[in-house]
Amino acid sequence: MAAAQKVAGFIGLGNMGSLMARNMVNKGYQLVVYDVSKSVTDKFVSQGGASAASSPSQLAEMCADKRANAILSMVPEGKHMREVYLGSDGVLKGGPNKDTLLLDSSTIDIDSAQLVHKEAAKKGFSFLDCPVSGAVPAAKAATLTFMVGGDKEKYELAKEVLQPMGQKFFHCGPVGAGLTAKICNNMMLAISMIGTSETLNLGIRMGLDKNLLTEILSVSSGRSWSVDTYNPVPGVKPNVPASNDYKDGFGTALITKDLGLAQHEATKSKSATPLGSISHQIYRTMCAQGYGIKDFSVIYKILSNDKQSLDD
């Protein structure tokens, strides 16, 4: 891709989106950005490599003028994504170029992605769902895994746009298939984090050193990402939320939302997910107790009954 062609729009500059967008800038992209928070948008623009739009429709217009390769979005829920693309001031109202890919990396309900795909197709636009795995550490390091749903030829074009942010890319099938893979992955993640936290709490209470137990689990049959990469015990891994008072990670409220999506799809497909259901209830209870903004690995602190530093 020629340097002059490396232009894209980016909507949603939260914990994940801001890091993803910054990696695009660092890899030579000129961005047009928008976030519902003007101060967040202004802060990103002040760091260089981007210009601000006042709405998704204006962003689409600016991208059309710059002949952008893609418009990307990273927002919390399906209702936000629908508003971004289909709202009265949405992307499709702004009229991007027909060859501008619409790439959504949000973890949302499959129905919303398929609706936007349908409406975008009516106007000649290509929409793909491109959810990610790896959380904030991978977003910082540009090593995200992208699970993509959409036309295979468009996937190859989308992959080139996504390269500055990721390391692994999978074409999962038609629109919605990327989200199916992501929802399944996050259900596994939620379940494993509870199991990891139970296991580490048990061993530590029985007198094992937390670092020794983590090292053993990391090379044994109980190994998981929750153990060796995103460990929930404070002080074991220096650059994870557990070592930062469970801040700036994957919020408990967000994984609770994702588990709700999994349960919705499980009901539709008549799939038995007993551990997914129990995990959903555990995280919903955590949200009700005020831990929604904490990283989901805070389950370890709750299980260990260590309330220190949990109350802001």
Q: List, by residue number, the catalytic residues.
A: 182
How crowded is residue 212: how many other Cβ atoms within 10 Å of its Cβ?
Answer: 10
Bridge partners (DSSP) of residue 148 are 171
Which residues, including other chains, have CB under 8 Å from residue 142's CB and lie 6 or more apart? 23, 27, 164, 165, 166, 167
Q: For residue 82, with 0-12 CB atoms within 10 Å meaning exposed, 13-18 middle and 19 or more buried, which class applies?
A: buried
Residue 134 phi, psi dihedral angles, 5° rounding = 130, -15
First CA to last CA across the chain, in angstroms? 47
Strand-strand pairing, 144-149 and 132-133? antiparallel
- Residue carrying the six token digits 């002040």: 46
CA 241 to chain centre: 16
Is there a contact between 280 and 271 (Cβ–Cβ < 8 Å)? no
Residues 6+ apart with CB under 8 A from 39: none
Q: Is the dihedral of CA 185, 186, 190, 191 positive or negative?
A: negative
How many helices (H) and strands (E) would you count in the chain?
14, 9
Tokens of 176: 């919605």
Contact 261, 108 (CB under 8 A): yes
Distance CA 3, CA 141 (A): 22
Q: How far apart are CA 87 and CA 278, in angstroms?
A: 36
